[in-house]
Amino acid sequence: MDNKKLAELLFAHITKSGEDFIIKYPKRNLPEGAKVTRFAPSPTGFLHIGGLFAAFVSERAARKTDGVFFLRIEDTDKKREVENGVTGIVQGLQNFGIRIDEGMLTETESLGDYGPYTQSQRKEIYQTFCKELVEKGYAYPCFCTAEELDEIRKKQEENKLNPGYYGEFAKCRDLTYEEIEEKVKAGMPYVLRLKSPGSPDARIKFCDEIKGEIEMPENIQDIVLLKTDGIPTYHFAHAIDDHIMGTTDVIRGDEWISSAPIHLQLFDILGFEKPRFAHISPIMKEDEETGGKRKLSKRKDPEAAVTYYHEVGYPKEAVLEYLLTIANSNYEEWRMANPDADSDDFDFKLSNMSKAGALFDLMKLNDISKNYISTLTKEDVYERTLDWAEAFCPEFANLLKEKKDYAVRIFGIERGNEKPRKDIAKWQDTVSYTKYFFEVPTQYEWPENLSNADMTEILNTYKDVYSKDETAEEWFPKVRDMAESLGYAKAPKMYKKDPDSFKGHVGDVASVIRVAVTGRKNTPDLYEIINTLGYDEFLARIDKAIELLK
């Protein structure tokens, strides 16, 4: 077979050589050891938390080494594409502070010298390299129809053989030039297949940066390089793009491990230096139904979508901090030893990532987030709540703007002190958190151990006991004295020792006041709440509660 002639027959329109592209996209001028990494999603508009995780880890690896992180859009599967699918992904990354050095920025704009960064615009590049593979005898056209491929599959099933297009089943491998020419001229559709040089007994080894040494059978499949429409498969596009774009570390989901032998073979026959590979295990979740673990699912788990975190208002700092804790198990310990350090100072390592799949835990994220929010100033909490509310809860945003000073004061309660309160996990929580400040309660969680008459007595007495100008230090002793005068124990311990001698204890008394003012059993510091509400509002609420207890 005259391979050159065949290449010309199939790719007459290709006039460039692979070398032209190698020259056009020279090696980047980066410091020694710099990593070039990428995130390469399909433009489905949907960013899975696992995708954000992969992007985050890839960006970290680049940042740590003064390298480059780029975004490539893999739109070779038109079925998965949605309108504005790139924007959704770019937004998702941006919302979580992931910075793209190169690649797609919007549906049409990009940054960087290694583009186009959208695969559908790289046809000429792929086809140029395909032409060269045909010339070298590493690729051939295959005219098999779906029915023929089906027959092959059935035969393999009957004989318990591995599925696929290989060896004796690779029917089109041995077509003559004349046969091919006739079919091409007759306009028969064809795919371009790899003529795999692999042998069934050979094995390959490679060192995955996360999973360690991996050994697998060599690839023997004549996989499809170009589909009938001239668009490459993932495998081929990956080899070409990651080489031409200078990726040094391919960090991707571990569903691609099984195809790694194909990819390594492609790098070899193309004469490309192989990148390092790091395959990330999927993020897992405890399955409530089975008690086992399963992948976080787009269908079943709202928290699988990155938009979820944005919509409910988790601060990006908290989400990233959480991702670091699941990325490197030694991160938490480091954080404990360095509470105020920038997380960039942490020595993040791919090799410290979980081989089995990190377990996702919303409770843990909540804790991290509460902790983070507790360190913000009241002004920051106000501004960030407002930003969130403007996007997702406009009525609340209006209220915050109308009553700015009041809102800032509310957010200042038990904040800025040594042990700030940790009860806001996400901005959405602030709606309920601040509700009783803006509205008189409509529901009351009254303590169950006191009668209405007892509670009314407490409230009536407290109206007289409380004075406008008392200090935080004076406040509680006054409540305690009042409790004692009404027949309650001064301390819970006292009550426990001798319950028959008291109506209850000081905690119950404070609870009645708290519920009357806020409707709730659990709130931040009551003294601060009363002060923030103001004396008149306090009195009005006590009076309303007394009315309701009648």
- Chain residues in the site for ligand GLU (CB under 6 A): 40-42, 74, 238, 252-253
Q: Which residue is nearest to ligand GLU (CB)?
A: 252
CB nearer to ligand GLU: give 41 or 282. Answer: 41
Six token digits for residue 41: 């999603």
Catalytic residue among 64, 183, 298, 422: 298
Smallest separation, CB 236 to ligand GLU (Å): 12
Question: In the annotation, is 298 catalytic?
Answer: yes
Report DSSP letters for 339-406, one per residue.
TTS-GGGS---GGGS-SS-PBP-HHHHHHHHHHHHHTS-HHHHHHHHHHHHHHH-HHHHHHHHHTHHH
**Residue 107 three-state SS:** coil
Helices assigned H by DSSP within 136-233: 146-158, 177-185
Beta bridge partners of 250: 277
CB nearer to ligand GLU: give 238 or 243. Answer: 238
CB nearer to ligand GLU: give 116 or 253. Answer: 253
Whether the CB-CB separation of 304 and 379 falls below 8 Å is answered with no
Is the preceding omega at residue 116 within 30 degrees of 0, hence cis? Answer: yes
CB nearer to ligand GLU: give 323 or 533. Answer: 323
CB nearer to ligand GLU: give 193 or 238. Answer: 238
Smallest separation, CB 150 to ligand GLU (Å): 27
CB nearer to ligand GLU: give 238 or 370. Answer: 238
Smallest separation, CB 26 to ligand GLU (Å): 23
Smallest separation, CB 238 to ligand GLU (Å): 5
C-alpha to C-alpha distance for 428 and 366, rounded to whole angstroms:
12
Whether the CB-CB separation of 288 and 294 falls below 8 Å is answered with no
Q: Is the Cα torsion angle 157, 159, 161, 163 positive or negative in sign?
A: negative
C-alpha to C-alpha distance for 85 and 89, rounded to whole angstroms:
7
CB nearer to ligand GLU: give 72 or 480. Answer: 72
Encoded amino acid at 149, one letter: L
Q: Residue 214 contacts by C-beta under 8 Å, 6 or more apart in sequence?
A: 205, 206, 207, 208, 257, 260
What is the longest distance spanned by two Cα atoms in the chain? 109
Smallest separation, CB 225 to ligand GLU (Å): 16
Smallest separation, CB 366 to ligand GLU (Å): 29
Phi–psi pair at 82, nearest 5 degrees = -130, 165
E strand or H helix at 215, and its extent?
A: strand 212-217
Smallest separation, CB 242 to ligand GLU (Å): 8
CA-to-CA dists, residue 80 to 75, 229, 331, angstroms: 8, 16, 36
Q: What residues are labeled active site?
A: 298
